[in-house]
């Protein structure tokens, strides 16, 4: 049953949201009724997303996209209840006319749907006008993947010398062995590694948990990291920076950084890694390995290891349903792109090899 509960209009963000909807103008003025209505709608969406335990990054992305639509609608004097599918289509058309990519427009439309879904859930509108607007067709791009030889060359090129090298070898072995997203990789905890069962507990999109088998090379790399490298990174951040001998650590500096006690992969300062750290380290090791030839280090992102994981499973005979579960896809339709990767690979091999191709 729809709930009419709404967040407090005295919420500290309320004034900020109204200010974000108002056009740039040095002259102070009272917000219009439409601006007030949109500010309330944005607060309600934020409230609903928090109630559903949506990730902070998701909430920020939705807020940015719906604020643009709210400014556009309020400048025309339309409150949320006065917007029809016609107006949403007009907004989408204006985005395209301004040069927005189909992917960007589709993302913004998804956020607008969520905004009106929130309004409908609370009984403030009867229908969701954005549900009647078709999502722009996005260009179809096959994911970039490493060949099995390139993946092996990359991983085998990372030496087992210093703590950071041992960490990187374990991190990328695990990313390729389990098909992890970069966000999943950096949010892993030490307790997520099941050494006896040789599997990994992964919290994916939507806070959905899955268990993924881990191959022996990756398990060996993780064990080596936990035994040799992580204790050093966790215990002495200053030493990792080369400054421990010059300055005695204060009690505050000696306290472990937030999240470090549980995080599996730590930075050289003893803090949990971010996704940008993963991208940077992967690019450095790809350049070091020379595994991609003309494609270069910038051509492969951490997500390419995930794509490679799925493609190599398909090459080895795994069925789509199994790959779907291992990747944590909500629908098998998301996994079917790898059949196209396989088809493209076979066509390329045919074109190169058959005398009558």
Mapping DSSP to helix (H, G, I), strand (E, B) and coil, where does residue 140 land? coil
**144, burial (CB in 10 Å: exposed 0-12, middle 13-18, buried 19+):** middle
186-200 confidence digits (pLDDT tens): 999 999 999 999 999
- pLDDT recorded at residue 2: 43
**How does strand 193-194 pair with strand 199-203?**
antiparallel
Q: In order along the chain (357 residues), what is the average pLDDT of each group of 10 residues? A: 45 51 60 92 94 85 94 94 95 92 91 95 94 79 79 91 94 94 93 94 87 94 95 69 38 48 91 93 87 56 88 86 87 73 66 67
CA 260 to mean position of chain CA atoms: 21
Strand order of the β-sheet with 199-203 is 193-194, 199-203, 209-213
Tokens linked to 111: 């956020």
CA distance 45 to 41: 6
Structure tokens at 237: 């951040």
Domains identified in the chain and CATH numbers: 14-132 (1.10.150.130), 148-160+172-213+274-353 (1.10.443.10)
What letters, b where the CB count within 10 A reaches 16 and e where it falls short, cover 167-176?
A: bbbbbbbbbb
Longest dimension (CA), the chain: 76
Would you please indicate which residues are annotated as catalytic (active-site) residues?
Answer: 181, 205, 303, 306, 329, 338
Dump pLDDT digits (tens) for 50-92: 998 887 888 899 999 999 999 999 999 999 999 999 999 999 9
pTM of the predicted model as reported, rounded to 2 decimal places: 0.61
């Amino acid at each position: 049953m729809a709930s009419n509960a709404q967040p407090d209009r005295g919420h500290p963000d309320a004034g900020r949201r109204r200010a974000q909807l108002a056009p740039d103008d040095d002259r102070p003025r009272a917000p219009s009724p439409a601006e007030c209505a949109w500010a309330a709608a944005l607060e309600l969406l934020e409230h609903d997303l928090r109630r559903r335990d949506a990730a902070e990054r998701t909430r920020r992305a939705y807020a940015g996209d719906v604020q643009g639509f709210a400014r556009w609608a309020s400048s025309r004097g339309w409150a949320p209840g006065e917007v029809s599918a016609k107006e949403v289509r007009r907004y989408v058309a204006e985005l395209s006319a301004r040069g927005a990519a189909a992917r960007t427009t589709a993302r913004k439309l998804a956020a607008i749907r969520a905004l009106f879904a929130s309004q409908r859930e609370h009984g403030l509108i009867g229908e969701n006008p954005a549900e009647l607007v078709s999502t722009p067709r996005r260009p179809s791009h096959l994911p970039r993947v490493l060949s099995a030889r390139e993946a092996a060359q990359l991983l085998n090129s990372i030496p087992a010398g210093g703590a950071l090298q041992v960490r990187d070898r374990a991190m990328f072995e695990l990313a390729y062995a389990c098909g992890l997203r970069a966000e999943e990789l950096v949010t892993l905890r030490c307790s997520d590694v099941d050494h006896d069962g040789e599997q990994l507990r992964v919290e994916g999109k939507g806070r959905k948990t899955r268990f993924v088998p881990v191959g022996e090379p990756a398990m060996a790399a993780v064990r080596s990291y936990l035994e040799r490298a992580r204790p050093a990174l966790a215990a002495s951040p200053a030493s990792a920076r080369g400054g421990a001998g010059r300055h005695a650590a204060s009690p505050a500096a000696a306290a472990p950084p937030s999240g470090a006690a549980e995080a599996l992969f730590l930075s050289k300062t003893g803090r949990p890694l971010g996704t940008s750290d993963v991208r940077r380290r992967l690019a450095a090791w790809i350049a070091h390995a020379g595994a991609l030839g003309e494609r270069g280090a910038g051509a492969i992102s951490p997500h390419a290891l995930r794509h490679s994981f799925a493609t190599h499973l398909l090459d080895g005979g795994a069925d789509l349903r199994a790959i779907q579960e291992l990747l944590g896809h909500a629908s098998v339709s998301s996994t079917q792109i790898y059949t196209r990767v396989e088809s493209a690979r076979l066509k390329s091999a045919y074109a190169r090899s058959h005398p009558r191709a």
